[in-house]
Amino acid sequence: MTTKIVSNPLDRSNLGEIQTEVVHIPEPLELSCGLSLIDHVLCVETYGQLNKNKSNAVLVCHALTGNHHAAGWHIGDKKPGWWDNVIGPGKSIDTEQFFVVSPSNIGTCHGSTGPLSINPITNAAWGPNFPKLQISDWTASQRMLMDHYKINCWAAVIGGSLGGMQAMHWSITYPDKLLSAVVIASAMKLSAQNIAFNEIARRAIKADPNFHHGHYQEKNKKPLQGLALARMIGHVTYLSDLSMAEKFGRELLNGNFLGEKSESIEFKIESYLNYQGDKFAHGFDANSYILLTKMLDHFDFGSEHSKQPSAAFEVASCKFLVLTFSSDWRFPPKRSREITKALITAGRDVTHAEISSSQGHDAFLLPNSRYQKILGTFLNRIALNVNC
């Protein structure tokens, strides 16, 4: 199907029409947990045009709670896709040069096969019984998606955070299927602190009385309070202390400290987090959130090959760009330096840059001229090889 993009005075992407498609993949997908999906669907958006020899395709890998709507405006949108500042004509991921493929991955709740989908065996929603996933399952599904578009090799596989982990996994699992990998604000495995934050978020969801051990759909319920709290926890980790200070400080939204009861006083940061939590809770699925955070926790680059990262990277043949942001404390610059060091040890072609930013982990989603220029310059060089 085709989704028409409405004009917006603030939008300069000129994407025209976004191609939105629910792709049915009829072949069984063997999962890392030992189970399999007899078939599955992926909701996909594409931007730009595939060239005659199908060599200019770019795979965009979303992060934890991302989806297929990476760029442009849908009718009724209050804001564009989550990476609109880098995808479009003349932008870093230039849709005049590349055909950009952006899927919602399995296990998510945006139209692709996941906990909200019907289990063909039980004829009921999968719910908490959806199979456990690893990043290898996402890349295997994306590899099957290539066949739908008759693409033999990606010009680039690009992602931030969890998306960067997918790009790394692509480079060693299907080394002949990509020319470049862009790894942004990512890591080869989570720290104990990151795992702890994810477990606190999951506990918040499970403590909601409407969770019902994950079977809330059957009872026509939804754990909105728990899911909102989980998002608030996560959202704080995506920001930096400086970005919160610059945006909110200790400014009050309601009340004052002159004789008012404390419950009448609300800081702007409180209002912001409550709004973000409630909005997320109404648009995301709790079982998906639990499933995906567990998948993120379990990623350990190279472990499934029983190799150290540098040894695992030795099979990679693509060029790499590794980007990190100075104020990111969830995936700090030292994690990206570890990736780069492993690539250098493996003798791979890698470019590394640390971007100055006060925006924390969310910086990879936000406009930054140096970030966008480095990404665009790297991809322009790749484009010379695929569009000649």
Report, as residue numbers or ranges, the catalytic residues: 161, 328, 361
Q: How many CA atoms lie within 13 A of 368 on its CB side?
A: 20
Gyration radius of the chain over CA positions: 21
* Helix, strand, coil tally for the chain in percent (to 5): 40, 20, 40
Helices (H) and strands (E) in the chain, counts: 10, 17
DSSP assigned state of 229: H
> Angle, nearest 10°, between helix axes 286-298 and 162-173?
50
Q: Tell me how far CA of residue 202 lies from CA of 118, 196, 206, 211, 240, in angstroms.
A: 23, 10, 6, 11, 22
Look at residues 172, 157, 134, 195 and name the one whose alpha carbon lies nearest to residue 342: 172
* Amino acid present at 94: D
CA separation for the pair 49, 139 (Å, rounded): 23
Q: Which residues pair with 355 in a beta bridge?
A: 325
Rounded to 5 degrees, what are φ and ψ at 23?
-95, 120
